[in-house]
Amino acid sequence: MPAIDPGQLAEELLGGDRRALARAITLIESSRQEDRTCARDLLTRLVPHSGNSFRVGISGVPGVGKSTFIESLGNHLIDAGHRVAVLAVDPSSAVSGGSILGDKTRMELLSRRAEAFIRPSPAGDTLGGVARRTRETMLLTEAAGFDIVLVETVGVGQSETTVSRMTDMFLLLLLPGGGDALQGIKRGIVELADMILVNKSDGAMQLTAEQSVTDYRKALMFMQPRTEGWEVPVEAISALQGDQTTKVWEQVQAFRETRQQAGLIESNRAEQNTNWMWNEVRNGLVERLKTDNQVTARVAELEKAVTENRLSPTSAADELMDVFAGKR
């Protein structure tokens, strides 16, 4: 690859050049040292141009219909004059190479539209690594003029929390279930949701979906609201038939308005940025510590002492940190 000129790449990206955007993302996803330096330069130039979007996280178990919903919503938004970026956070992408969004068949129409930009999950060995690249990709798409960012994540483990920490709103898609529909899902995830959609409300499942809506609404009455003045809406939708999409978007806008008026979008983003910075510091410090020559010279001995109960883990950790800081 010829040397990249970050200044020129930034100019092209700001001009809305899709290929520049794709190249920029490839650059920030690279783990090569010279690319990392270049990526940092690029981000410094582009961050002041980022942020002009509404960021929506979309989560739910595999097969609930996230991609189908995004196809429907995305097309609706483009028809309304928006430019839509679709990103993904897939915690399994290290193994699968990023399956989520990998096949764009669920977003066939959307993926062919000039006003849409769809990017599969970056591969990474940790959720933290995947998240960092997705956050940075989000900033790049915003700088390139996309004003709605949809982040899809599969509802397993920690990824929902991760995505809720990089977005302005969190949508949870659920499957129609029986009377005790709440049982199957973790309460913590429901508590993250700013809106709940019971998908596949069509055909034989429609009645069940409507029953689930009633159940969830009841259950939510006993939960602490995340945003004052905002009652988490629960709606039955059919992503496949595309109905209710307009209504869903109206609710998203109402939420945005509520948060905006309370100054919560800005303050939430500020907090997210600070947390992100400290996360990077934590991860980066451990990485540097582990590759530090003085530290590596002592690690084996200290680990041995800890495993043999001759030294407390806390003391050993203190010692390693002191060695790293040059105090011992």
Distance, in Å, from the CA atom of 132 to the CA atom of 107, rounded to the nearest integer, reads: 25
Which residue among 13, 21, 39, 67 contacts ligand GTP (CB under 6 A)? 67
3-state helix, strand, coil in the chain (%, to 5): 55, 10, 30
**Which of the residues 162 through 191 are near ligand GTP (CB under 6 A)?**
none
262 binds, options Mg ion, ligand GTP, none, Cβ within 5 to 8 A by partner type: none
Residue nearest Mg ion by beta-carbon distance: 67
Pick 103 or 266: Cβ nearer ligand GTP: 103
Binding of ligand GTP at residue 66 (CB under 6 A)? yes
68 near ligand GTP, judged by CB under 6 A: yes
Its sign, for the CA torsion 105, 58, 147, 141, is: negative
Residues 73-132 that bind ligand GTP (CB under 6 A): 100, 106
The residue nearest ligand GTP at its CB is 65
Residue 177 in tokens:
């279930």
Question: From the list Mg ion, ligand GTP, none, which binds 199 (C-beta under 5 to 8 Å, kind-based)?
Answer: ligand GTP
Q: 30-37 long-range contacts, Cβ below 8 Å, gap at least 24?
A: 35/4
Q: What is the CA radius of gyration of the chain?
A: 22
54, β-bridge pairs: 148
Please count the residues of this chain forming the interface with Mg ion, following the rule CB under 5 A: 2
Contact assessment for residue 176 and residue 205, using Cβ atoms and an 8 Å cutoff: yes
Question: What gap in Å lies between CA 119 and CA 125, rounded to an integer?
Answer: 18
Q: At its nearest, how many Å lie between ligand GTP and the CB of residue 119? A: 14
User: Which is nearest to 74 in space by CA: 254, 245, 257?
Assistant: 245
Which residue shows structure tokens 């011992």? 328
Query: How far apart are CB 86 and ligand GTP at their closest, in Å?
Result: 11
- Considering only residues 67, 137, 167, 199, which one is a binding residue for Mg ion as defined by CB under 5 A? 67
Residue 62 as a binder of ligand GTP (CB under 6 A): the answer is: yes
Which CB, 69 or 216, lies closer to Mg ion?
69
Nearer residue to Mg ion within complex by CB, 120 or 145: 120
Minimum distance of ligand GTP from residue 277's CB (angstroms) = 30
Instruction: Note whether 14 binds ligand GTP by CB under 6 A.
Output: no
* Closest C-alpha to 14, from 39, 40, 41, 50: 50
Binding of residue 137 to ligand GTP (CB under 6 A)? no
| Cross-sheet strand order for the sheet of 169-174 | 116-118, 84-89, 148-154, 54-60, 169-174, 195-198, 234-236
Letters for 211-250 (x = contact with ligand GTP by CB under 6 A, - = none) are ---------------------------xxx----------
Q: What are phi and psi of 98, to 5 degrees?
A: 85, 70
Q: Is the dihedral of CA 95, 58, 85, 32 positive or negative?
A: negative
Q: Which is nearer to Mg ion, 67 or 162 (CB)?
A: 67
**CB 265, CB 232: distance < 8 Å:** no
93 binds Mg ion (CB under 5 A): no
Residues that bind Mg ion (CB under 5 A): 66-67
Residues that bind ligand GTP (CB under 6 A): 60, 62-68, 100, 106, 154, 199-200, 202, 238-240
